[in-house]
Structure 1
Amino acid sequence: MKKKIIALGFSALMVVSSCDVLELNPVTQIDTDQAIINVSTAQGAVNGLYNNLQGVYDWHVQVLSDVASDVSQQIDTWDALINIDEFSQTPDNSEVSDLYTVLYRCSDISNNIIAKVPGIEGAEATKNDLMGQAHFVRALAYFELARFFGGIPGGYEEAGVVIKLTPSIGISPSDYAPRTTLTETYQQVESDLLTALNLLPETRTDNLQTKARPTKATARALLARYYLYQKNWAQAESYASLVISDTRFSLVVPFENIFRTKNTAESIFELQYNNNDVSGLRNWYYPTSLSGRGGVALHDATYLEMTADANDARGKLTAKNSTTNTYYTTKWNTPGNIDNVSVIRMAEMYLIRAEARTEIGTNLTGAADDLNAVRTRAGIGNTTAATQDELRTAILAERKLEFIGEGHRWFDLIRTGKALTVLTNVKRSKGSQSSYALTDARRQVFPFPNVEVLTNTNLLQNSAYR
Structure 2
Amino acid sequence: MKNTKYLNAFSVALCLLLCTSCEEDLIVEPNDALNEIDFLNNPNNAITLVNGVYNKQLDYEMYSFSWIGLTSITSDDADKGSSLSDTGADKHKMDNLTFDATDISFREIWQGRYDGIGRANNALFYLEQLQIAENLKKRLIAETKFLRALFYFDLVRCFGGVPVVAIKIDNNDAALIDQVVYTRKSKQETYAQIETDLLAAIQDLPLKGQYGPNDLGRASQGAAQALLAKVYLYQNKWQEAFDMSGMVIGSGQYGLLENYEDVWREVGENTVESIYEIQGSPGNSVRAYSYVQAPRGTPDLGWGFNTPSLSLTNAYEPNDSRKAATILFSNINLWDGFPSSPGWSNPRYNYKSYHSSIAESWNGDREVPGKNIRILKYSDILLIRAEAALNLGNTSEALDKVNMIRERAGLQALTGITMDDLLKERRLEMAMEHDRWFDLVRTGKAFSAMAANGKTFIIGRHEVFPIPQNEIILSGNLLMQNPGY
TM-score, scaled relative to structure 2? 0.82
Q: Which residue of 2 aligns with 1:431?
A: none
Q: Distance in 2 between matches of 1:69 and 1:293?
A: 19
1:303 equivalent among 313, 328, 342: 313
Q: Which residue of 2 aligns with 1:18?
A: none
Letter in 1 for 2:405: V
Q: Distance in 2 between matches of 1:165 and 1:374?
A: 38
Q: Distance in 1 between matches of 2:35 and 2:189?
A: 32
Q: Which residue of 1 aligns with 2:167?
A: 166
Q: CA deviation at 1:332?
A: 2.5
Q: Which residue of 2 aligns with 1:464?
A: 484
Report 1:270-349 matches (<5 A): 270-279=277-286, 280-288=288-296, 289=299, 291-306=301-316, 308-321=317-330, 322=342, 323-334=344-355, 335=357, 336=366, 337-349=369-381
Deviation digits for residues 41-65 of structure 1 (CA, Å, limit 9, x no counterpart): 3222211111112332345434421
| Change beyond 3 A, Cα 1:105–1:292 | same
Q: Which residue of 2 aligns with 1:91?
A: 101
Q: CA deviation at 1:290?
A: 6.4
Q: Which residue of 1 aligns with 2:229?
A: 224
Q: CA deviation at 1:313?
A: 3.1
Contact 1:319 1:329 in 2 (8 A): yes
| Change beyond 3 A, Cα 1:255–1:271 | same
Q: Flag structure 1 segments of 5+ consecutive residues without an equivalent.
A: 1-6, 15-26, 151-159, 427-434
- SS of residue paired to 1:417: coil
Q: Which residue of 2 aligns with 1:352?
A: 384
1:374 equivalent among 392, 405, 411: 405
Report 1:87-166 matches (<5 A): 87-150=97-160, 160-166=161-167
| Change beyond 3 A, Cα 1:72–1:223 | same
Q: Distance in 1 between matches of 2:51 and 2:422?
A: 37
Q: CA deviation at 1:253?
A: 1.1
Q: Distance in 1 between matches of 2:19 and 2:234?
A: 27
- SS of residue paired to 1:447: coil
Letter in 2 for 1:257: D
Q: Which residue of 1 aligns with 2:194?
A: 189
Identity of aligned residues (%): 28
| Change beyond 3 A, Cα 1:122–1:9 | closer
2:178 equivalent among 157, 176, 179: 176
Q: Distance in 2 between matches of 1:353 and 1:461?
A: 35
| Change beyond 3 A, Cα 1:173–1:123 | same
| Change beyond 3 A, Cα 1:439–1:35 | same
Comparing 82-91 with 276-285, greater Cα deviation is found at 276-285
Q: Flag structure 2 segments of 5+ consecutive residues without an equivalent.
A: 1-17, 331-341, 358-365
Report 1:30-45 matches (<5 A): 30-31=31-32, 35=36, 37-38=40-41, 39-45=43-49
Q: Distance in 1 between matches of 2:433 and 2:252?
A: 24
Q: CA deviation at 1:232?
A: 1.2
| Change beyond 3 A, Cα 1:369–1:44 | same
Q: Distance in 1 between matches of 2:408 and 2:213?
A: 23
Q: Which residue of 1 aligns with 2:5?
A: none
Contact 2:29 2:122 in 1 (8 A): no
Contact 1:63 1:407 in 2 (8 A): no
Q: Which residue of 2 aligns with 1:244?
A: 249
Q: CA deviation at 1:285?
A: 2.5
Q: Distance in 2 between matches of 1:380 and 1:32?
A: 62
Contact 1:351 1:399 in 2 (8 A): yes
Letter in 2 for 1:45: L
TM-score, scaled relative to structure 1? 0.85
Q: CA deviation at 1:218?
A: 1.1
Q: CA deviation at 1:11?
A: 6.8
Q: Which residue of 1 aligns with 2:212?
A: 206
Q: Distance in 2 between matches of 1:28 and 1:277?
A: 25
Comparing 184-193 with 58-67, greater Cα deviation is found at 58-67
Q: Distance in 2 between matches of 1:201 and 1:325?
A: 45
Q: Distance in 2 between matches of 1:372 and 1:395?
A: 10
Q: Distance in 2 between matches of 1:57 and 1:32?
A: 33
Deviation digits for residues 93-145 of structure 1 (CA, Å, limit 9, x no counterpart): 11221111111111111111222212111111011011101111111111111
Q: Which residue of 2 aligns with 1:417?
A: 444
Contact 1:251 1:347 in 2 (8 A): yes
Root mean square deviation, CA, Å: 2.5
Q: CA deviation at 1:242?
A: 1.3
Q: Which residue of 1 aligns with 2:271?
A: 264
Report 1:74-89 matches (<5 A): 74-76=80-82, 77=86, 78-89=88-99
Q: Which residue of 2 aligns with 1:67?
A: 73
**How many positions carry a matched residue from both structures?**
424
| Change beyond 3 A, Cα 1:133–1:33 | farther
Deviation digits for residues 228-272 of structure 1 (CA, Å, limit 9, x no counterpart): 111111111111111112222110011111122121110001111
